[in-house]
Amino acid sequence: MRRHPGGRGLLCLILVGALAACDQQPAAPAPEPRPVRVVSVAERADSTIVTLTGTIQAETEVNIGFRIDGRMVERLVNVGDRVAAGQMIARLDPTNEENGVRAARAALVAAEAQMVETHANYHRARELLRTGFGTRQRYDQAAQQLQTATSAVDSAEAQVNIAENRLGYTVLLADAPGTVTARGAEPGEVVAPGRMIVRLARQEGLDGVFDVPPSVKDRAPADAVVMVALTLDPTVRAAGRVREVSPSADAVTGTFRVRIGLDNPPAGLRLGSTVTGRMEIAGGGGYAIPASALTRQGASPAVWVVDTAARTVAMRPVEVLRHDPTRVVIGSGLARGDVVVTAGVQALRPGQKVRLLDAPQ
């Protein structure tokens, strides 16, 4: 049986078409736009809330020590004790000072006896001169001796006062009510004058103490109201104003120590408590956006900006003026009306299609 010459070619065409049909795959569907939340850049930041962490300290804290040296035999208070004005804190061995008082008093008695004798001699010399039986030289000599004896009595009385004061200095008393925050010497030690025996936080008032960066210090108003709250319980709080600003920055941190005098602090604000201070300061320009919108492009801060017409995103570098836990103030890189992604920034890529979950606010 003879085959038709064109049948083979037709068969090949059919086989090639079948193979081509097998190689064709259905086109992949376009990726779904990624849902994001956005915010519209609208207002400049005219002010901002600065939050700092600090501690509660006494308005006045003093070191109390003896005015003389000696061996301390007793300390009656410890750290944490509350003391009243005039309460005994510590005591030195008074033996030497007691002997000094006895010696000074004995010297005073001798000086007074000498003055009595010279006073009698002076009166005799004056009477003899008046009746013509004495000489002017004898009278002048008696007057000089009386003056010397009077001066000796004055000196002896001063020495008695000094000795009695030194005896009183062997007892250390609190000059004001307060709380003991530290101790320096222990009983049995020989202490020098002025050495700290205890540190006393006086009950004159409380301060919130904060280490403030220079940028915040320079923009803070002169009479700003600072709200100081207990970190563990923000309901325990008190308002205050700046009472003292350190004139020089800390050599390590570069911050300035600021003390906030508290008005009627509650009992929950105790010495050493960790507190949070909040204060409103001038904004200094810039646009405020949520802190969640901030990301990074290399080592620089950036944000994702939405092209509202094409519904795509592009990363834009920005300059951050300042930030707090809830918002960031952008100095440059954004303009009024820009739509910025605030949620989902870590999963985006340039040119990616997005779907806005909410209208820009």
CB atoms within 10 A of CB 173: 13
Task: Say if residue 19's pLDDT is above 70.
Answer: no
Output the pLDDT for position 1.
44
**Which residue range forms the structural domain that includes residue 132?**
95-168
Regarding whether 264 and 243 lie in a shared domain, the answer is yes
Q: What is the pLDDT of residue 219?
A: 76
The CATH number linked to 119 is 1.10.287
Residue 231 is part of a domain; what is its CATH number? 2.40.30.170
For residue 21, being part of any structural domain is answered with no
Q: CA 236 to CA 298: how far, in whole Å?
A: 43
Checking if the pLDDT of 15 tops 70, the result is no
Overall domain count for the chain: 4
What is the per-residue pLDDT across 341-353, written as a single tens digit (0 to 9) for each?
A: 888 777 788 888 8
- Report H helices in the chain: 5-23, 95-131, 136-168, 214-219
**Any idea what the CATH number is for the domain that residue 344 is in?**
2.40.420.20
Per-residue pLDDT averaged across 232-250, rounded?
A: 91
70 three-class SS? strand
Residue 16 has pLDDT above 60, yes or no: no
Note whether residue 39 is domain-resident: yes
Q: What pLDDT is stored for residue 116 in this prediction?
A: 94
234 shares a domain with 298: no
Residues 200-212 have a mean pLDDT of: 91
**69 assigned to some structural domain:** yes
Give the burial class of 54: count Cβ atoms within 10 A of its Cβ; 0-12 exposed, 13-18 middle, 19 or more buried.
buried
The whole-number average pLDDT for the span 301-329 is 82
For 345, the token pair is 């920034």
Q: Please indicate, yes or no, whether residues 185 and 72 belong to a single structural domain of this protein.
A: yes
Q: Tell me the per-residue pLDDT of 130-165, one tens digit each, with 9 for 90 and over.
A: 888 888 999 999 999 999 999 999 999 999 999 999
Position 40 scores a pLDDT of 83
Range name among 75-79, 92-96, 271-275, 306-310 with the lowest pLDDT average: 306-310
**250/265 same-domain check:** yes
Q: Look at residues 282, 297, 319 and tell me which one is the last residue of a structural domain.
A: 282
Same domain, 80 and 117: no
Confidence of residue 44 (pLDDT cuts 50, 70, 90): low
Q: Which of 21-35, 65-79, 340-354 has the lowest mean pLDDT?
A: 21-35
Task: Say what the pLDDT of residue 187 is.
Answer: 94
349 and 242 co-located in one domain: no
- Does 43 have pLDDT greater than 80? no
pLDDT over threshold 90, residue 23: no
pLDDT at 230 over 90: yes
9 falls in which pLDDT band (50, 70, 90)?
Answer: low
For the cut 70, the answer to whether the pLDDT of residue 94 exceeds it is: yes
- Give first-to-last CA distance, the chain, whole Å: 85
Position 21 pLDDT exceeds 60: no
Token pair, residue 13, equals: 């065409």
Q: Which of 231, 257, 282 is the last residue of a domain?
A: 282
Q: pLDDT tens-digit profile of 110-139?
A: 999 999 999 999 999 999 988 888 889 999
Tokens for 149, please give them. 């004896």
Query: What is the average pLDDT across 331-348?
Result: 81
User: In terms of domains, do 209 and 275 share one?
Assistant: yes
